Amino acid sequence: MSDGYLKDVYDLDGPGAVRSYYDKWARTYDAEVGENGYATPARCAAALKATGLPLTAPILDMGCGTGLSGVALAAQGFATLDGCDLSPEMLEQARAVGVYRDLFPADAVPPHPYAAIAAVGVIGPGAAPPDLFDTCLALLDPGGRLVFSFNDHALDIPDYPAKLQTARDSGAVRLLFEEHGDHLPGIGIKSTVYVLEKT
């Protein structure tokens, strides 16, 4: 299996490095993760649907990348999708898939009332810091859903799972779904998919 960009992605540090790396990777991203069996988008979309969220509910795809997560959500029947990403080149790829109502730079998300936020393969080393978890929750009203994943690299760094544990301990969220399974089986990485409801 090819590991052209995957081999170094988990070592990126800081938003500037992440943006530059993903800009360069944008045109070959789908092919590379696809040949490594990228399973998390479909797992997250199915988990969100299983919680009973209406298919017309507006969803923000946080860190949408090339749109693989949006395509997975659309395949489950979700019809109102917006996306945002740090990488302009990734957003250009996402625009071409045709499933998004609107696409925004990560620092320019308007205050839409989203019923759910999807952060698929986004919160973890080489992508977004643990604080993105708080950002996602802050964008939701009570009753809103957050579907996200922590891959094995994120689960091994205490700051990431600690964000979830703190939110659960404080009563800020209710856990609706949790499952460990395939992430990138081609390189032997798994992820845990979660769906939370903001209380």
* CB count in 10 Å sphere of residue 140: 20
The total of structural domains in the chain comes to: 1
**pTM recorded for the entire structure:** 0.90
Residue 166: inside a domain, yes or no? yes
Residue with tokens 């089986």: 185
* Residue 57 domain boundaries: 6-198
DSSP 112-142: --EEEEEETT-BSTTSB-THHHHHHHHTEEE
Whole-angstrom distance, CA of residue 180 vs CA of residue 11: 23
Whole-angstrom distance, CA of residue 64 vs CA of residue 172: 25
What does the pLDDT read at residue 1? 36
Residue 11: inside a domain, yes or no? yes
Whole-angstrom distance, CA of residue 55 vs CA of residue 137: 20
**Of 45, 2, 13, nearest to 124 (Cα)?**
13
Q: CATH number of the domain at 13, please.
A: 3.40.50.150
Strand 114-119 to strand 189-198: parallel, antiparallel, or no bridges (unpaired)?
unpaired
User: Between 166 and 124, whose confidence is greater?
Assistant: 166
Residue 1: inside a domain, yes or no? no
pLDDT band with cut points at 50, 70 and 90 for residue 9: low
> How far from 34 is each of 1, 29, 116, CA to CA, in Å?
10, 8, 26
- Torsions phi, psi for 95 (to 5 deg): -60, -35
Residue 125: inside a domain, yes or no? yes
Whole-angstrom distance, CA of residue 2 vs CA of residue 5: 9
Whole-angstrom distance, CA of residue 185 vs CA of residue 198: 31
CA-based angle 115:117:119, to the nearest 5?
170
Mean per-residue pLDDT for 125-152? 93
pLDDT tens readout for residues 31-67 = 888 898 999 999 999 999 999 999 999 999 999 999 9
pLDDT tens readout for residues 121-135 = 999 887 789 999 999
